[in-house]
């Protein structure tokens, strides 16, 4: 019989959010003789699923907290997570439908979305459901995207974040989808711009880490003209770390009381950018947990050099994802190969 106490379980990355099936166009398949029958391939997606899958492929202990909707698309979502090493204990079976996004791609690979989400499973969280699926030792809890600012489930998510504040690193990514946050489609979900901003403020007030895109920031603060200034201001609102992404432009890395840092992402041949921000977040979380950062004090103690090494790895994870169609993040082996000078990065 071994002596001494059993080793403690490692802290777990918990990703809380929606499951979405992305219908991606297949340009080479054409649209039929009349041009009225475009072809699509159904791929698992959604901010939370993408982050969890990317972290799982990097070997990070990760549990996805998600309401798994009914219908024929649901088993593929669960299987996609499991194949990437995601702990399925966070799934809650639901009777509502799975969320669906029809994706169009611009000339630069940037996505345009049409959502079919009214009455979907993702927005129906209860306090009891969340308490049941939360692991015993959450190290980082990541929330964001549509489920974090759509009622009624967003209220349960906000209460969970408030309870966890101070005991786990809380990460927030607004991941705004304007048509679902304001305007006619948003009304089907009960959302307005004012309500979404108010709900996000409640989460951001308890956030230790914030990842926000320039596009999201300007939607939240339409008067924004200086992204450097915005990153600094957001860091002074309470988070220990703010990552402001801006497409292929340099990342802005902001911490309260410290100089603003810029980091250029790797250059790659882009297939599309679906899931890039989610992969970046997962890469950051994997790096933090790998280095033993699972609370705010440890995050604040990171030197700029150590933090930038983690940010560089996270940006490389995102870049590798962009070399493939859809949200398809790299494995740990692929990341190691690219870091060593693989051909995908130039």
* 83-96 average pLDDT score: 97
Question: pTM here?
Answer: 0.92
Given this model, what pLDDT does residue 343 score?
A: 46
Tell whether the model's pLDDT for residue 4 goes beyond 90: no
Q: Are 147 and 123 in contact (CB under 8 A)?
A: yes
Superfamily of domain 12-28+37-338: Ribokinase (3.40.1190.20)
Within 8 A by CB and 6+ apart from 300, the residues are 240, 255
Residue 341 burial (C-beta neighbours within 10 Å; 0-12, 13-18, 19+) = exposed
pLDDT one-digit tens code per residue, 11-67: 999 999 999 998 888 888 888 888 899 899 998 989 999 999 999 999 999 999 999
Length of the chain: 346
> Which range has the worst mean pLDDT, 108-117, 158-167, 172-181, 330-339?
108-117
- What is d(CA 52, CA 159) in angstroms, rounded to the nearest whole number? 22
CA 96, chain centre distance (Å): 23
Confidence of residue 6 (pLDDT cuts 50, 70, 90): very low
């Amino acid at each position: 019989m071994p002596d001494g106490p059993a080793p403690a379980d490692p802290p777990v990355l918990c990703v809380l959010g929606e499951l979405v099936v992305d219908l991606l166009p297949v340009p080479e398949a054409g649209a039929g003789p009349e041009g009225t029958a475009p072809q699509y391939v159904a791929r698992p997606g959604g901010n939370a699923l993408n982050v969890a899958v990317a972290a799982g492929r990097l070997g990070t202990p990760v549990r996805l907290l998600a309401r798994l909707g009914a219908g024929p698309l649901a088993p593929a979502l669960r299987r996609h997570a499991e194949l990437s090493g995601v702990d399925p204990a966070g799934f809650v079976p639901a009777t509502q439908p799975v969320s669906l996004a029809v994706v169009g791609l611009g000339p630069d690979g940037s996505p345009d979305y049409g959502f079919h989400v009214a009455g979907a499973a993702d927005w129906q969280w209860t306090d009891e459901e969340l308490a049941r699926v939360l692991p015993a030792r959450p190290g980082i809890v990541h929330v964001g995207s549509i489920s974090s600012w759509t009622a009624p489930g967003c209220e349960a998510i906000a209460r969970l974040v408030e309870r966890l504040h101070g005991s786990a690193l809380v990460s927030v990514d607004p991941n705004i989808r304007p048509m679902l946050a304001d305007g006619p489609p948003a009304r089907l979900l009960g959302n307005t711009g004012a309500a979404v901003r108010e709900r996000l403020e409640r989460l951001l007030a308890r956030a230790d880490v914030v990842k926000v895109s320039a596009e999201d920031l300007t939607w939240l603060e339409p008067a924004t003209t200086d992204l450097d200034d915005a990153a600094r201001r957001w860091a002074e609102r309470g988070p220990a770390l703010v990552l402001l992404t801006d497409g292929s432009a340099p990342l802005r890395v902001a911490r309260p009381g410290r100089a603003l840092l810029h980091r250029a992402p790797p250059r790659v041949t882009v297939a599309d950018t679906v899931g890039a921000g989610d992969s970046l977040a997962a890469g950051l979380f994997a790096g933090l947990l790998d280095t033993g950062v699972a609370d705010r004090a440890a995050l604040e103690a990171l030197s700029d050099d150590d933090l930038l090494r983690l940010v560089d790895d996270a940006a490389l994870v995102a870049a590798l994802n962009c070399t493939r169609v859809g949200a398809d993040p790299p494995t740990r082996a692929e990341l190691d190969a690219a870091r060593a000078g693989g051909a995908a990065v130039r």
